[in-house]
Structure 1
């Protein structure tokens, strides 16, 4: 809790595959003053490291996450723009947020595979510099490992929103 402001910070999290609308919503939330947005793909592009460098991506993601926890402890609201595909990732983020005294807001994106691929194809064609290009095979591999959010996970957060087929 931020004693000076008398309020509890919020960690905003996302659960969704590439192309589901996470970045679009995260940018909207940041513009609305919901928190400081941390997006690994954008930071990686900003420092000039190719998206294909997966080891750097993982290292940067861990650094930004540690920074998110520092911000939460300081009473700053954070929007963490990761997909959190696996239940164990979500559980870890929930536990860490609670250890800082933060509230948790979760956005769950339920988007079908065809819609995801159509959006990713469009994004790949536009060659947006701060997003990682994704192949159809990579999307299908992600689809195969993705673990949908369970009811007990929803019960563990302070608030959640479901987005079906896009941003609604």
Structure 2
């Protein structure tokens, strides 16, 4: 295990902006694990994820269970890459409670990627069939309506990533 203090890495970016790719890269640091929301949602709710309201309901259930686990990992010296969307103030507030409940530092990774690039990547991802969820262009736009860029007033240590 690394002697560095544990860090909670938080991902903020639209669908197909590269959050999971960045999460995978960050997890290569010794003493760091990834917890991927899509994998858990697919495992726990495989036939219940067809709409935005389904996502909100299932994700809320997952967060209730996962929160104490993430805090435990951080307090035991592991860094966690939380590959969960931090795309709204409400989602980020939940993640703030994890930082507050632990002794860990944090980084909010903000992926600033255009809708056009995200949609191209999304179509490519859908075509491979390797991702647990197929997301349509319409669903992308529906989710994107709720995207809120984090601001300085939220108090996160922001790390920006471009296209």
So what's the TM-score if we normalise by structure 1? 0.81
Q: Distance in 2 between matches of 1:95 and 1:45?
A: 25
Equivalent of 2:161, from 152, 160, 163? Answer: 163
Q: Deviations over 1:131-157 (max 9, x none)?
A: 32111111101111111111223xx23
- Per the normalisation by structure 2, the TM-score is 0.83
Deviations 1:96-145 (A, max 9, x none): 3122121011100111111111111110111114x321111111011111
Match of 2:111 in 1: 109
Give 1:18 deviation, angstroms: 0.9
Corresponding residue of 1:82: 84
**Which of 42-51 and 27-36 deviates more?**
42-51
Return 5+ residue gaps in structure 1 as ranges.
Answer: none
CA distance in 1, matches of 2:31, 2:48: 27
Distance in 2 (alpha carbons) for counterparts of 1:6 and 1:123 = 37
User: What is aligned with 1:97?
Assistant: 99
- After superposition, the Cα gap between the structure-2 partners of 1:108 and 1:65, relative to the gap in structure 1 and judged at 3 Å, is same
Give the unaligned 5+ runs of structure 2.
none
**How many residue pairs get matched?**
157
Q: How much does 1:46 deviate?
A: 4.7
1:40–1:64 contact (8 Å) kept in structure 2? no
Contact 1:108 1:163 in 2 (8 A): yes
- The 1:34–1:74 alpha-carbon spacing in structure 2 relative to 1, beyond 3 Å, is closer
Change (3 A) 1:48 1:96: closer
Secondary structure at the aligned position of 1:134 is classed as coil
Superposition RMSD on alpha carbons, in Å? Answer: 2.3
Equivalence map 1:20-31=2 (5 Å) = 20-31=17-28
